[in-house]
Every structure is written in C-alpha cells, then in structure tokens.
Amino acid sequence: MPENIAFGILALVATLAALRVVTTRNVVHAALYLVVVLATVGALYVLLAAEFVAAVQILIYIGAILVLFLFGIMLTRPTIGTDTGLDNDQRWIAGVTGLFLLGVLSFVLVDAFGDEQLPDLGGVSREALTAERGTAAVGDAIFSTYLVPFEVVSVLLLAALVGAIVLARRD
C-alpha cells in the first residue's frame, strides 16, 4: 500500500511538471521543470526495483542530457523571461489533439491487455531473476553487444555540443 501512495504522488508531480514544461514561457524554467520530470521517472524506477535503470536515468538524462540543454540555452542567449511573441492561438487544437491521442492510446491498451493480471513468477526467486536480468546482464549487453551504438551516441552528443557552440558564437 505505501508503494501505491508513493507512486500516486510521484505520478502527480511528474504530470504537473510535464504540463509546466510545455506551458511555461521561460525556456530556462522549462528545462528546470524537465529536471523534475526526469527525476520523478528515476524515482518511479526505484519503486519498480530497477535501481540500475534509475541510476542511469539520473546520470545520463539529468546529469548529461539536461546539462547539454542548459548549456545550449545559455550559449544561444535566448530572451530570458516571458516573451508573448512566441505564443499563438492554437492551444485548443493542441488540447483536442491531446485528448484524441489519450483516447486512442487508452483504447489500444485496453484492447491489448483488457483485465489481465500480471503473470505469476512460477516459483522463480528474485535472485534468479536478478542474475538473468540484473545489473550485470545489462552491463554485459551495453559493453559487449551494444558497444558500438553506445559510442556512436556519445560522439553524436559531442558533435551536437560543438555545433551549438559554433552556431551560437558566430560573432
């Protein structure tokens, strides 16, 4: 029961912060609200007993990607504060589209899963599952099978950072 309460609180905080990401008029505040969203997703992974994924979520998304966002924001020198010229009158279209997407996704999920219950582990212990799908297995997959894509993504992020610096500092 306490896990359900913690999940509800974290889901509410993540939802409210996500709404603020897309509704705030200050780009720096939007990036900071994104920090809250990503941190609550990391906390949800802790509730799911996926500590490795939670640590990666915090280290990679908050520690690297969001710092890259903030660095890019500061390099491009955007107008800090509210800028009414960036807004338009199409919020109602976005709201209708969002509700339509919610309906379609809800229908697809109910159609696919219905009222099925999670499968029973069938006597498999937590230790056996951890050995098969735990941190060591994920680490082996990243640094053996997926080593090249992992390195390509890091080079791509470095290229994006250099590109942001070149575009921002043309003067």
Largest CA distance in the chain: 66
Phi and psi angles of residue 87, each rounded to the nearest 5 degrees, phi first: -95, 155
Tokens of 13: 């905080």
Tens digits of residue pLDDT in 43-66: 999 888 888 888 888 888 888 777
Contact status, residue 111 vs residue 103, Cβ threshold 8 Å = no
- The pLDDT of 82-97, averaged and rounded, is 77
Classify the phi-psi angles of 11: left when phi > 0, otherwise alpha if psi is within -120 to 50, otherwise beta: alpha
> Hey, what domains does the chain have and what are their CATH numbers?
2-80+88-115+126-168 (1.20.120.1200)
Count of other CB atoms within 10 angstroms of residue 75 = 15
Percentage of the chain lying above the pLDDT 70 cut: 81
Residue 85 has pLDDT above 70, yes or no: no
- The pLDDT of 9-29, averaged and rounded, is 90
For the chain, helix, strand, coil in percent to 5 are 80, 0, 20
Tens digits of residue pLDDT in 104-120: 999 998 888 877 776 66
